[in-house]
A = this chain, B = another copy of it.
């Protein structure tokens, strides 16, 4: 497991302890599956990875644990419009945006302070008090541009 992953897992243990919540095998297995992968996994994929690493976890528990992770700030939840949610390790990373490839589904990330500030400012201009936002760019990732030079992004 990566250093980052390990750090997040420890943070999760601490979060559980400090909230008097039992540290169970299942919770750790789900958290590990999320933290291990830099990817944006579905609940189903997370369950599969936990099982592959030796701890089968019931669907309900997967969802309940993902909730815990999101609420504790250790994971982030996304909806890229596939009809299901995706999760990525959360804390420590600066806020960032996602580019989703319409052809292969790959996710590329970027972040930019000026963009964040501009978004907040524009919201305030219409008398809205911004708290957070989500920005998703759809198009073609690098490799899909190459394999389909003429393809138009959907």
A: which residues have CB within 8 A of B? 79, 81, 97, 99, 101-102, 108-110, 112, 114-115, 118-119, 122-123, 125-142, 145, 152-154
Are B128 and A140 touching (Cβ within 8 A)? yes
Starting from the known contacts A108-B127, A118-B118, 10 additional A-B residue pairs (CB-CB under 8 Å) come to A99-B123, A112-B118, A128-B141, A129-B139, A129-B140, A129-B153, A131-B138, A131-B152, A134-B135, A134-B138
Min CB distance, A19 to chain B, in Å? 20
Identical copies in the complex: 2
Min CB distance, A79 to chain B, in Å? 6
B contact residues around A102 at 8 Å (CB): 131
Contact of A115 among B79, B119, B130 (CB under 8 A): B119
Are A128 and B154 touching (Cβ within 8 A)? no
A131 to B132, alpha carbons, bound, how many Å?
23
Are A137 and B128 touching (Cβ within 8 A)? yes
Are B130 and A139 touching (Cβ within 8 A)? yes
B contact residues around A110 at 8 Å (CB): 122-123, 125-126
